A and B are shown apart, each in its own frame.
Chain A
Amino acid sequence: MIKAILIFNNHGKPRMSKFYEHYTEDTEQQIIRETFHLVSKRDENICNFLEGGLLIGGSDNKLIYRHYATLYFVFCVDSSESELGILDLIQVFVETLDKCFENVCELDLIFHVDKVHNILAEMVMGGMVLETNMSEIITQVEAQGKMEKSEVRAAPLSYLLEF
């Protein structure tokens, strides 16, 4: 099971955080800080697996991360997940973001964090991997986006009619 998915930048500022188990707000922030602390100490060319921190589960848990330019993508998982598989999943996630945002950069994530959540919701659900086919994910995300936009366009008429 995936316990949490965190995206933060090189200074530890959170850009997206999704927890699949319940923690208090304080604990969530502590987890982000602790994860950043552990991950930022790592050199560039060593392996992408870390035994997890103390806050998020115990010895069963691992941190699997990838570092892209200014962002860290960290998945906190337990032993039921394939480590190499999750590593690939992070890659798929980032490539999907890239397709949806067109050459994604940190600013995109900052200003469209809700969209990042929507994309992630098509890939991971309830801590389990849902869909890994990039084109399928993008199709669904775009369809949902259209639905939102079409609702908004219809709105002004109804408001006018209320007057």
Chain B
Amino acid sequence: MPLSISLITDTVMTPSVRLQEMIRVIRSARTQGEERGIIQKECADIRAQFRQSDNGERSHSLAKLLYVHMLGYPAHFGQMECVRLIASPRYSEKRIGYLGAMMLLDEKQDASLLITNSIKNDLSHSSQYVQSLALCTLACMGSAEMCRDLAPEIERLLRASNSYIKKKATLCAVHIIRKVPELAELFTPSARSLLSEKNHGVLHGAVVLITELCEHNPDTLDQFRKAVPELVQIMKGLVTSSYSPEHNVAGISDPFLQVRILRLLRILGHNNDTASDAMNDLLAQVATNTDSSKTAGSAVLYETVLTIMDINSESGLRVLAVNILGRFLLNNDRNIRYISMTSLQKIVQSDHNAVQRHRGTIVDCLKDQDTSVKRRALELSLALVSAVNIRSMMKELLIFLSTCPPELRSQTTSGIFNAAERYSPSKRWHIDTILHVLTTCSFTRDAFWNLVMLSHFFNLSSQQPLVQVACWCIGEYGDLLLKGECEEIEPVQVTEDDVLDALETVLQSHMSSPATRGFALTATMKLSTRITDNVDRIRSIVSIYGSCIDLELQQRAVEYNALFKKYDHMRAAVLERMPVMDKNSPGHTNGDTSGENKEPDPSKPKPVEAGLLSEPASQSVQLQMKAPSGNVIPAHGLGQVTQTVVLNNPNKASLPCLFLCSCLSH
């Protein structure tokens, strides 16, 4: 009887073997396209299998489908199969069905409701492994409705079953509470009695459940404070490590359970003297006796420190805790250094002085090769900046900025600016710092905006060159200021009006020197090609200054006006952004160019040259911008930065070169 023999052969194979065959075939594909083709064929086979009513093949097919799903191919057509397989009486089929449900079903699909009944039945199954499948699935993907339906079952299992099931039922209860918080009351009574279990798995689950209950409801939290002595007893047992040798990890007895209990103690002791007192001794014992040479010990010690800092502990204990963190900072293991900085970050507000003692080590961590450690060190360093240490800290931060990885750059600059604003010892130091940042890192919005605000703030007293730089920057990079890519978490919102306001303030202030005003006017003009909404405002500003008493300003304004009217088509080209400076190019220094250029005399105002503004230039005229003569504005008006312009005019068209030179001379 060949038919039945082949059936025997088929069903003797567990789902794994068929799956392996398919995996082998998929792996033999040499290209992505080939793999896609193989998988499409397999899926077609699987679909055909699902349509047949033959029982033996379905679990194999679903196993294959789940593999295909892991690789990223669509598998939604298997959802109903999961439902069918879960309802099967056979363990192997249930198992793959439940796995499929966890991978393919979620609350949004109707199919998930259909399995509620199967789960209910399986929760009372005679085999604990079937019960466990149901519990696992409910905890993974149970919707609020399913949870409501099945909560009483879970509660029953919490009280009356073996430890294997109890352990799973407790975690399932946690999931239920997360989905349906009102059901928390249902589990509160049984949770407390679970603490007297000996099995570590159940204890662990119980502590997690109690933690969840306490976090949900302050009244429950009060109730469970009475359990502190019991928890302390359990911990003591674990610490003296005679409790359970099989849970030993690197000499620490069940560190996972210890960590959980410590966390719960933290919640129970927070803001409560009685509870805190009850755990003081224990915490001291754990802090001094735990061997932290391996990760397991460090995990427990670290959790102990966090608990000490978060409850109302004695001051001696707190000092001990911070010192442990300080020791962690010096540990060779980077993971431990990272962890200690995370915890120092949590307590830097409340125990600022204690953390300050470790400032040196923290600042050293800025030089670590690991980006994660650097990030932590940066945040902590910024939190530790104070009026007392601003100078030395800023030095370190600026050194860090010059070598820091790009993803930390904007955070560093924001931090530096904030610190500078709050604690700078003098204005000059403040400006130096900002300029240092500007020259160290490439353009950041934040940097320039700070510069603008700073010049605004100083009200243009003696810092004319600074204001001139700020104006130039705004004019040149105004569009980036307004809409540049934002790496910062909270971008500074800069509107066009803000920018124009800043420039107008400079223009109108009686403390601005004429040169500064010139900068501001030019910058305003440049913005006309870089902004979109407020061009009219610029036009009106420019036309007002057309009747200004200051000759220089008047000349510029008149010429800019012409740029708006008759020579509007040239405006964009004339006001284009300067190209990046190439230090080796021939035009770098003054006087080294050919063609038309003007070198403004530093001691005299620019000469007014009479000249007719003739016809607009033909297309063949090219403007070649040479490099500016320097990239730093010299202090106190000594010398000027000159931007030379080469006009290539092969057709000898006559040009309004006058206005070109004066508006480009900065």
Tell me which of B331-339, B380-388, B570-578, B619-627 binds A.
B331-339
* Alpha-carbon distance A87/B74, docked complex (angstroms): 33
Contacts of B127 in A (CB 8 A): 147
Tell me which of A68-76, A77-85, A96-104 binds B.
A77-85
**A94 beta carbon closer than 8 Å to chain B:** no
**B318 beta carbon closer than 8 Å to chain A:** no
Interface string of B2-28 (1 = CB under 8 A from A): 001001100111111001100110010
**A125 beta carbon closer than 8 Å to chain B:** yes
Of the candidates B14, B129, B254, B334, the one whose C-beta lies within 8 Å of that of A132 is: B254
* B20 near A148: Cβ-Cβ < 8 Å: no
Contacts of B27 in A (CB 8 A): 110
Contacts of B371 in A (CB 8 A): 46
Tell me which of B134-142, B491-499, B554-562 binds A.
B134-142
* B201 near A131: Cβ-Cβ < 8 Å: yes
- Total interface residues in chain B, CB < 8 Å: 80
* B16 near A159: Cβ-Cβ < 8 Å: no
* Alpha-carbon distance A15/B205, docked complex (angstroms): 29
* B174 near A128: Cβ-Cβ < 8 Å: yes
Distance between B115 CB and nearest chain A CB, rounded to angstroms? 15
* Alpha-carbon distance A143/B132, docked complex (angstroms): 13
Distance between A83 CB and nearest chain B CB, rounded to angstroms? 6
Distance between A43 CB and nearest chain B CB, rounded to angstroms? 7
**B225 beta carbon closer than 8 Å to chain A:** no
How many cross-chain pairs have Cβ atoms below 8 Å apart between A and B?
174
* B372 near A49: Cβ-Cβ < 8 Å: yes
Question: If the complex has contacts A43-B369, A47-B337, A159-B7, are A111 and B256 also in contact, measured as CB distance less than 8 A?
Answer: no
**A138 beta carbon closer than 8 Å to chain B:** no
Contacts of A89 in B (CB 8 A): 256
**B168 beta carbon closer than 8 Å to chain A:** yes
**B445 beta carbon closer than 8 Å to chain A:** no
**B367 beta carbon closer than 8 Å to chain A:** no
**B259 beta carbon closer than 8 Å to chain A:** yes
Distance between B619 CB and nearest chain A CB, rounded to angstroms? 48
Contacts of A47 in B (CB 8 A): 334-335, 337-338, 370, 372-373
**B298 beta carbon closer than 8 Å to chain A:** yes
Distance between A2 CB and nearest chain B CB, rounded to angstroms? 11
Which residues of chain B (541-594) have a CB below 8 Å from chain A?
none
26 inter-chain pairs at a CB distance below 8 angstroms, sorted by A residue, are: A46-B373, A47-B338, A51-B372, A84-B295, A88-B256, A88-B296, A88-B299, A111-B24, A112-B20, A113-B70, A114-B19, A114-B66, A114-B96, A125-B135, A125-B139, A125-B140, A125-B172, A130-B201, A130-B204, A132-B249, A140-B164, A143-B129, A151-B90, A152-B14, A152-B92, A155-B11
Contacts of B299 in A (CB 8 A): 82, 84-85, 87-88
Closest to A145 in B: B14
Of the candidates A125, A133, A148, the one whose C-beta lies within 8 Å of that of B246 is: A133
- Total interface residues in chain A, CB < 8 Å: 58
Which residues of chain A (130-163) have a CB below 8 Å from chain B?
130-133, 135-136, 140, 143-144, 147-149, 151-153, 155-156, 159-160, 163
* Alpha-carbon distance A155/B13, docked complex (angstroms): 11
* Alpha-carbon distance A93/B127, docked complex (angstroms): 26
* B4 near A46: Cβ-Cβ < 8 Å: no
Contacts of A132 in B (CB 8 A): 204, 247, 249, 254, 256
* Alpha-carbon distance A20/B175, docked complex (angstroms): 11
* Alpha-carbon distance A14/B99, docked complex (angstroms): 18
* B171 near A126: Cβ-Cβ < 8 Å: yes
* B99 near A130: Cβ-Cβ < 8 Å: no
* B164 near A159: Cβ-Cβ < 8 Å: no
Of the candidates A29, A92, A121, A152, the one whose C-beta lies within 8 Å of that of B136 is: A121
Known A46-B369, A156-B7, A156-B12; 10 more pairs at CB < 8 Å: A22-B107, A49-B372, A82-B299, A89-B256, A115-B16, A128-B208, A130-B201, A131-B201, A159-B4, A163-B1
Contacts of B19 in A (CB 8 A): 111, 113-114
Closest 7 CB pairs of A and B: A126-B139, A84-B299, A46-B370, A47-B334, A22-B106, A29-B72, A156-B8
Contacts of A40 in B (CB 8 A): none
**A48 beta carbon closer than 8 Å to chain B:** yes
Distance between A3 CB and nearest chain B CB, rounded to angstroms? 12
Contacts of B255 in A (CB 8 A): 85, 88
Interface string of B253-295 (1 = CB under 8 A from A): 0111001000100000000000000000000000000000001
B residues touching A (Cβ–Cβ < 8 Å)?
A: 1, 4, 7-8, 11-16, 19-20, 23-24, 27, 56, 63, 66-67, 69-72, 74-75, 90-92, 95-96, 99, 106-108, 127, 129, 135-136, 139-141, 164, 167-168, 171-172, 174-175, 200-201, 204-205, 208, 246-247, 249, 254-256, 259, 263, 295-296, 298-299, 302-303, 334-339, 342, 369-373, 375
Question: If the complex has contacts A88-B296, A125-B171, A148-B92, are A25 and B256 also in contact, measured as CB distance less than 8 A?
Answer: no
Distance between A79 CB and nearest chain B CB, rounded to angstroms? 9
* Alpha-carbon distance A155/B66, docked complex (angstroms): 24
Distance between A76 CB and nearest chain B CB, rounded to angstroms? 15
Contacts of B338 in A (CB 8 A): 47, 49, 83
Closest to A113 in B: B67
Contacts of B336 in A (CB 8 A): 84
Closest to A79 in B: B342
Distance between A41 CB and nearest chain B CB, rounded to angstroms? 9
Question: If the complex has contacts A82-B259, A114-B63, A133-B246, are A16 and B70 also in contact, measured as CB distance less than 8 A?
Answer: yes
* B99 near A114: Cβ-Cβ < 8 Å: yes
* A147 near B129: Cβ-Cβ < 8 Å: yes
Distance between A15 CB and nearest chain B CB, rounded to angstroms? 8
* A129 near B204: Cβ-Cβ < 8 Å: yes
Distance between B661 CB and nearest chain A CB, rounded to angstroms? 50
* Alpha-carbon distance A87/B491, docked complex (angstroms): 35
Question: If the complex has contacts A114-B99, A130-B205, are A25 and B372 also in contact, measured as CB distance less than 8 A?
Answer: no
Contacts of A49 in B (CB 8 A): 335, 338-339, 372
Of the candidates B141, B168, B303, the one whose C-beta lies within 8 Å of that of A22 is: B141
Contacts of A51 in B (CB 8 A): 372, 375
Question: If the complex has contacts A84-B335, A114-B63, A144-B129, are A17 and B174 also in contact, measured as CB distance less than 8 A?
Answer: no
* Alpha-carbon distance A87/B339, docked complex (angstroms): 12
Closest to A16 in B: B70
* A130 near B171: Cβ-Cβ < 8 Å: yes
